[in-house]
Amino acid sequence: MQKQWLIIACSVALFACNSKTKNTGADSTEAAITSVALVKDPFFTKQLKGTVADQAITMQILKSSDKTFSGYYSYDKIKEPIKLWGGVDSAGNILLHEELIDDVDQYFKGKLTDEGTYEGTWIGPNKSYPFKLKVVNEEKVISFLVTHIEDSAKLIDNMANSPVGTVRATVLWPVAGADDATLTWLRNAITQFDTKRDFPNAAAYAKNYTDSFVTHYRGENDTTGFAEIAAEGGGMSYNWDEDNTTEVAWNKYPLLALERYFYAYTGGAHGNYGSAYQMFDLSKKKELKVADVFKPGFQPALSAALEKSLRKRYKLTPDQPLKDNLLFDNKIEPNENFFITDAGVTFSYTPYEIAPYVVGQIYLFVPFSEIKDWVQPEYLPKQ
């Protein structure tokens, strides 16, 4: 391997581990929970609360590099999660763009501070509103350490201009907000999702991503005759790239939702990507499936509600068939890629799952009020 950086971010401290696991200890874990140094901390995931204009909102924000930010936010009255992505402009403003539909760009533009605030202007078409948010450290909000790792490897060790495979991973490690038994269960559920293994700490879990990628990269590529392939212009497709990022989509006891984003370029015209969700009921120590949330026979009602949401989101009239206008088929079925809030459910469909690649990942929110007869009582909004 040509280079490897393993960085464990404990919010107020940065531990450069040189590919070795480092026990951060109780003090650094406590610092990660309480730190609000949003500029100084190299990586973090935090929950912020505040207002846009006079509307209360809650935001989940992940800093996965100096220039990379993402997350979710929702208006507290509606509780529909809206995906955010962004970075830093030349003036040091953090730009968080809402998931784009119909080329309408709506975004937050503001400054982070080491006092735990994010303040600036929400900007939309022909309108703008001030916003001010502040980190909240609530007792039953799960707190995470953020571990980021990068690695690259030559495909052919003794070749100066060898193709290179590059991998990045950002993982979350629960450290507070629940009792020890729940935190241990949650850590194992997170790592079992894509590795079918338990890990002793975040560093070991993160390193598994890079080790697996390098093994796969070198094992899957036959380099016989590569010099001739490169001379004919075919070498670029051997430069593989992979990114794995976990972030918080919803974090309000007892419900916790994590997005598991994956991107991979393994040759061809373009890379493939998609997000899968893990939905937890912490009070039960249970990873939820659709059948846990909805009553038997829910499929027709939920399918109709998803179609309504799709038509609204993509501005399709009632008489426009879904097939050919957007989807591969004229109906949309619920899948297991979902998460719930205390007011509704979001279903997500990866590229090629129900629509062409160009449509991108599809996110559809259905308020529980529209399907309340089919929702298990324990997950309906509390009066």
State the CATH class of domain 36-135.
mainly beta
Round to whole Å and give the CA distance between 26 and 175: 10
Indicate the angle between helix axes 180-195 and 202-220, nearest 10 degrees. Answer: 0
pLDDT in the model for residue 237: 86
Q: What does DSSP assign to residue 370?
A: G
pLDDT in the model for residue 14: 30
pLDDT in the model for residue 26: 33
Round to whole Å and give the CA distance between 70 and 194: 21
What's the first-to-final CA gap in the chain, in angstroms? 57
Query: Per residue of the chain (383 residues), what is the pLDDT tens digit?
Result: 544 444 444 432 232 233 332 233 233 345 656 788 999 999 999 999 999 999 999 999 999 998 999 999 999 999 999 999 999 999 999 999 998 776 789 999 999 999 999 999 999 999 999 999 999 988 889 999 999 999 999 998 888 888 999 999 999 999 999 999 999 999 999 999 999 999 999 999 999 999 999 999 999 988 887 777 777 666 788 899 999 999 999 999 999 999 999 999 998 889 999 999 999 999 999 999 999 999 999 999 999 999 999 999 999 999 999 998 999 999 999 999 999 999 999 999 999 999 999 999 999 999 999 999 999 999 999 86
Q: Are 246 and 233 in contact (CB under 8 A)?
A: no
Q: Taking the model in full, what pTM does it have?
A: 0.90
CA nearest neighbour of 255 among 173, 175, 171, 140: 140
Q: What is the domain partition of the chain in residue ranges? A: 3-26+139-287, 36-135, 293-379
Tokens 């850590």 label which residue? 187
State the CATH class of domain 3-26+139-287.
alpha beta
Q: Let me know the angle formed at the C-alpha of 105 by 104 and 106, rounded to the nearest 5 degrees.
A: 115
Q: Are 57 and 73 in contact (CB under 8 A)?
A: yes
| CATH topology for the 293-379 domain | Actin; Chain A, domain 4 (3.90.640)
Residues 6+ apart with CB under 8 A from 114: 36, 37, 38, 39, 40
Tokens 């097939």 label which residue? 323
Tokens 């500029």 label which residue? 39
> How many other CB atoms are found less than 10 A from the CB of residue 60?
23
